[in-house]
Amino acid sequence: MGELKKVIESGTPYLGTSAGSNICGLTIGTSNDMPIAYPKSFKTLGLVPFNINPHYLDPNPGSTHMGETRETRIQEFHHFNSQPVIGLREGSYLEVIGSKIRLKGVLNARVFEKNKTPYEIKSESDLSDLN
């Protein structure tokens, strides 16, 4: 992670999708896959001041699946962690230029903050102050 962060911070553009976007946040604690082996660290690049949950799916009220929803897992994460989490839906992305972070794409994103009700942000919203 250290070498990649140095290269990005020196000006090399980075485009991450799926797990590649997940590592741009503060930790991998809100990835969609549970590690099968304990990693050296859950810390990631920290290019944005929050965690990213790529492929975010809204709960389906008609589903008979009895497992956890993404929203439930993120709320469980907040029992032990304080950083915000951005649920990025398919086709949405974050554009980071300097210190500016902007949501792009046609879909809203869902923002989860500890001890707050999750809320939606629209495309073109500025996320620079979210931390």
**Parallel, antiparallel, or unpaired: how do β-strands 119-121 and 93-97 relate?**
unpaired
Beta strands in 1-131 (DSSP E): 51-54, 85-88, 93-97, 100-104, 109-112, 119-121
C-alpha to C-alpha distance for 27 and 41, rounded to whole angstroms = 9
**Where in the sequence numbering do the catalytic residues fall?**
18, 33, 55
> Token digits for 30?
């809100």
